[in-house]
Amino acid sequence: MSNGTKVLLVEDDDKLRNTIQDYLQMNCFSVTACADGTSALYCFENEAPFNIVLLDGMLPDIDGFDVLTKIRETSDVPVIILSARESERDQLRGFHLGADNYITKPFLLSVLKEHINALLTRSGHTKENKTHLTRGALKLNTAHRKVYLDGRLINTTPREYDLLLFFMENERIVMSRDTILDRVWGDSYFGDLRTVDTIVKQLRKKLNGHNNYIVSVYGIGYKFEVSDEK
């Protein structure tokens, strides 16, 4: 998994940045390390495409969440937030802005590597021979990770896209929040079950008149179901 993987590491703490960089390079990752948001955005825009971004949530010049917002304007590259901010509010904000994972400090380097590998595996699983998936008014272009509703492109975060794809591929199957977290976020993710509810809420808003496609199943979780539509 790691051979040839290009990582953009953004961390203002010199010791931690060097430690992460050394560890990942020993595991055959190619790492570009930046100490602030300005240099990170420059590298992201001007260097070879990165496979994943490790982004400190607290940077000296530009807030890490603002860096994430800028990245999401042009790219759906997987992003892992590394932050000392532990509050639920901060974690949910990170996911809302498009983070694929959120790891609070301190953390084990071996665990970080597993998060990276799991995320890279998930981000690659949608590259199938079948490039379009249609359910009702929804159409997904899986080759380019685009979502269309009634023929109009709607913007989704990478996590929203992954969850919607998972729902559409498993239509009419009732799934618990635990199952959804495991299949979409990966078994290396140790987040709150309410994270699923948050992403579902965001998706329903974007589905507008078709938000009934995602059905709440009391006491269990959710299922995706498209009723006959006129």
pLDDT at 46: 82
Q: Are residues 92 and 161 in the same domain?
A: no
Residue 196 sits in the same domain as residue 86: no
The residue segments making up the domain with residue 216 are 132-224
Q: What is the pLDDT of residue 164?
A: 94
Q: Strands, E, within the chain: which ranges? A: 6-10, 30-34, 52-56, 79-83, 101-104, 132-135, 138-141, 146-149, 152-154, 175-176, 214-217, 221-224
* Same-domain status, 74 and 137: no
How much is the pTM? Answer: 0.55
SS3 of residue 3 by DSSP: coil
pLDDT at 230: 46
Tokens of 224: 């995706």
Does residue 229 sit within a domain? no
Same domain, residue pair 161 and 61: no
